[in-house]
Amino acid sequence: MFQTAAGQDRKTLAILQSNYIPWKGYFDLIGLSDEFILFDDAQFTKNDWRNRNQIKTQNGLQWLTIPVQHGSLSQKIKDTKVADLRWPRKHWNAVSGSYARAAHFSDYRQQLEELFLGCEEEYLSRVNYRFLTALCAMLGIRTKISWSMDYELLEGKTERLVDLCRQTGSQIYLSGPAARDYIQEELFREAGIELRWMDYSGYPEYRQLHGPFVHGVSVLDLLLNMGPEAPRCLKCFATGSEGRS
């Protein structure tokens, strides 16, 4: 938590749809918050980050995609089901094949193999939650991760965010930069809630396999290449606020 001049704690909230093995910036948003709400009441979008991400291989970037069942256009992420339960073996084979020579693959091999091969979740949201919480633990991020369905949801994009801050007792809302297109900043000011914007620039490069450096790949790349040094590449650790709850 941040503190005021009077020494009072100020809780920070961030809200985002669940993603599958996301990039390091996603984990920074989690780590810079006291509570992170997975907004899986949102509409599922095809060809997005909800059910896929990229890893680096000797043949270039490779998509790892969880096959899902597509229903109506209004299908929510939380209602999206996995279409083929054989995906964990395929993804683990791809990860282990691409990162077998990474400096810290052996350190995480057993944990990750169990994480993938032990995944029998029927719903995409539960798959994502399984990986997000496990990867946070490996990175040392202690933020509380909750669900949008745990709370009452108002109509109106900004009104909903402001009200979720109230429901969680948060005085600071940390938003991804893409939300600048729709957030009404004055509603946060009127509610006495500080709005902050995540900055994804300035990440350092690190030891990385397979050709030119790429920032936007799954955090698995950072973890397997850097191991215990991975946190030094994350902003939440640089500020000393890695999951302050």
Query: pLDDT (tens digit, 9 = 90+) per residue, 156-190?
Result: 999 999 999 999 999 999 999 999 999 999 999 99
Residue 183, token pair as written in the block: 């957030």
pLDDT category of residue 107 using cuts at 50, 70 and 90: very high
Asked if 117 and 88 touch (Cβ cutoff 8 Å), the reply is yes
Residue 121, token pair as written in the block: 């979740």
* Alpha carbons 207 and 184: distance in angstroms, whole number: 40
Q: What is the pLDDT of residues 39-87, one digit of tens each?
A: 999 999 999 999 999 999 999 999 999 999 988 889 999 999 999 999 9
- Per the model's pLDDT, the better-predicted residue between 4 and 215 turns out to be 215
Compute the average pLDDT of residues 141-154.
97
Compute the average pLDDT of residues 211-232.
97
Compute the average pLDDT of residues 224-245.
83
Burial of 31 (0-12, 13-18, 19+ CB in 10 A): buried
* Alpha carbons 110 and 165: distance in angstroms, whole number: 38
Residue 205, token pair as written in the block: 């490069």
Strand partners, 141: none
Residue 245, token pair as written in the block: 């709850």
Q: Is the dihedral of CA 111, 112, 116, 117 positive or negative?
A: negative
Which long-range CB contacts under 8 A does 90-97 form with residues at least 24 apart? 91/64, 91/66, 91/116, 92/116, 92/117, 94/55, 94/57, 94/62, 94/64, 95/55, 95/64, 95/220, 97/57
Three-state DSSP class for 21?
coil
Alpha helices in 100-199 (DSSP H): 105-117, 124-139, 157-168, 185-190
Counted residue by residue, the chain has a size of 245
pLDDT category of residue 1 using cuts at 50, 70 and 90: low
